[in-house]
Chains A and B, each alone.
Chain A
Amino acid sequence: MLRVVKPKTKQARRALEKRAPKIKENVKKALLLHGTSTSAVVKGVLSDLHHIKKDGGNAVHWTRKNENIRPFEPAGAAPLEFFSKKTDCSLVVFGSHSKKRPNNIVFGRFYDNHVYDFMELGVERYKSVKDHGGARKFSPQVGSKPCFAFIGEAFESDEKCRQFKEMMLDFFRGEEVDRINLAGLDRVFVCVATATKVLFRHCAIRLMKSGTKVPQIVLVDVGPSLDMVFRRNQTPGEELRKEAMRTVSKAPQKKIKNVSSDMMDGKVGRIYMPKQEVGEIALKKMKGLKRERREAAAALPDGERKDEARKKLRQNDEQ
């Protein structure tokens, strides 16, 4: 027998609606975790990436070790799929360290809680945020939208580099926006491809005065800096890629209430106001009325007059 299960609280309902599939999707959340053995380098990398992405709850960092996770085996990737479903994270960074693959970082993506693709990189040189000097005056603000600079023809010709470029974009992009305040451009991810490696740098942008409208750009390395080597990778099948890339041509327009357009007047809006009790509106104290009070005081008999008048004037002056 089937039974309808509904959330019992409004908060639970809102949480479920947030996780539901939508036309315009939420920012992708990242899950950072490591396997049975890690090195200081791997731990540092995970921690730094977490700090970059944690604004708005977009990153989940697990510090305990997790066994039996082998991303490149179908059975070994199942725990990652389960974690992705539970934490609603469609990006994953899995770090591990072994003799065969030292300082290993696997970037992964999920589609519909199933594996989409993986990319394995070995960190050869790592300089953490702390090594660069930690947070400074011109460090980028938490949660700001980054710029990306990919330098090197390999990002177009080489398959692994191309996948890396897509991954980095997906990972650090943040929200899709159509308006941006240019003063808030404060971080760049610079990736340079060499013959065997890819150099990943995270820099803060300093806008310096130039003579023109366009400021001069100066980059300052704030970390983390990673020199990485490509190891294994896994690409999605053609069908999966097609399905994941599907978009709706036009999202349904939200209805705007009380706005219409007129041939003569153009855009016309209606404002609804509550009924006003004109007789009881609180008015500002008019100084002109003071004279009336003085006159009223003048009409009083002599004995009371001076005290009354003085009292009233003092009150009015104070107000």
Chain B
Amino acid sequence: MAAEEEGAGMDSLSGLRMDIGNLLVFDATDPGIEEASTSSDDYDEQCLRKGARAIQALAEKLFNMPSEADKYGRLVILPPPTTKLPREKPLPKPRPPTKWEQFAQSKGIKKRKRSKLDFDEDAGEWRRRYGYKRVADERDIPVIEAKSTDEPGEDPFSNMKKEKKARIEKQEKNRLQNLKHTLKVAGKSALPSTVQLSTMALPITGSAQVPKKLTKDELGEIAGHASTATASVGKFDRKLEGEKPAKHAGKHRKFLPVVGSSKEEKQQSDKILDKVLSRHNQEIVDVNKVSDLIFAFRGLANFSHGVLGFCVGC
């Protein structure tokens, strides 16, 4: 078609600038549409016409470009886009080397690739180096021979466990130090994306326990209690804008009448007793303490048996 040829032939002359990587055509020589003379429908028609001409020129270029075969048809290889657009996030920053990395660099230690499987002589098969059913799992060791340096009364198995725990704690501490160093030197953006360092405020009191976070319901209850702690039980207090009415209006505790059937009182005390003596209850009764006491008592009884050799008064 004449229009097609015109567009294709006068590409460089007609001032059609293309960014093929973005599939963009920019017609810089077109004067645009004059407003006074055209109606809104005419706008549409002119837009479509000019657009079609521009895209035809783009298609000329695209369909003549080198392509490669693919499962669903031919794929044209596009050049990289030329229009520069701003990024949405800053470039990832390289993080500074960790303490170990610095040490390794100074000593010239190189990472060596280890194989995933190792031969386990005891089991006589190939096992993982770490993880489930690994080569040297500490839990699989049945017997540890006593060394001359061992003190009597020490449990080597629990020692091993303690040492492992200590190693893990040390590693975590080192990792935290490395992250803090990264934060100081390179800022928050250099931290790995899945890690955050948050400040945790510890209580000034002597106990090492972290105060439990109050839930929304608990806060609401406390606020309700506080609001009614006035002489007129909060009835005539002016409320703040947006403040909701207290959840429990009126009395907070229900007491049984002093004179009445004993059935309800019996139910109440039964309920309390069940709670205290229930197996799953760890708040009212410290099961660990109780069991320790029991074993200690039993142990004492056995000891007295063993030493004296005969039953004393039993």
A and B: interacting chains: yes
Point out residues on A near B: beta carbons under 8 Å: 1-7, 13, 16-17, 19-23, 25, 28, 90, 109-112, 116, 125, 145-156, 165-166, 169-170, 173, 176-183, 185, 188, 190, 192-197, 199, 201, 203, 205, 210, 213-221, 225, 227, 236, 241, 243-248
Contacts A112-B89, A194-B33 known; A215 to B25 CB distance under 8 Å? no
How far, in Å, is A306 (CB) from chain B's closest CB? 54
Contacts A176-B81, A188-B51, A190-B47 known; A169 to B24 CB distance under 8 Å? yes
Query: What is the interface size of chain B, counting residues whose CB is below 8 A from a CB of the partner?
Result: 72
Contacts A147-B23, A169-B24, A190-B51 known; A6 to B90 CB distance under 8 Å? no
- CB pair B91 A246 closer than 8 Å: yes
How far, in Å, is B260 (CB) from chain A's closest CB? 52
Contacts A151-B32, A201-B51, A203-B51 known; A7 to B87 CB distance under 8 Å? no
Residue ID in chain B nearest A176 by CB atoms: B81
- CB pair A4 B86 closer than 8 Å: no
B246 within 8 A of A: no
- CB pair B198 A2 closer than 8 Å: yes
How far, in Å, is B48 (CB) from chain A's closest CB? 5
B305 within 8 A of A: no
Point out residues on B near A: beta carbons under 8 Å: 1, 4, 21-35, 40, 43-44, 46-48, 50-52, 54-56, 58-60, 62-64, 68, 70, 72-78, 80-81, 83-92, 172, 175-176, 179-180, 189, 193-202
User: Which listed residue, B23, B59, B63, B180, touches A148 by the CB 8 Å rule?
Assistant: B23
Instruction: Identify the interface centre among A6, A192, A201, A244: most chain B CB within 10 Å of its CB.
Output: A192
Q: List 7 tightest A-B contacts by C-beta distance, closest first.
A: A20-B193, A90-B88, A244-B86, A190-B51, A152-B32, A21-B89, A149-B54
User: Which listed residue, A116, A153, A166, touches B30 by the CB 8 Å rule?
Assistant: A153
How far, in Å, is A21 (CB) from chain B's closest CB? 4
User: Which listed residue, B21, B60, B176, touches A4 by the CB 8 Å rule?
Assistant: B176
User: Which listed residue, A13, A156, A179, A205, touches B76 by the CB 8 Å rule?
Assistant: A179
Write out the residue numbers on chain B whose beta carbons fall within 8 Å of the beta carbon of A244: 86-87
- CB pair B85 A170 closer than 8 Å: yes
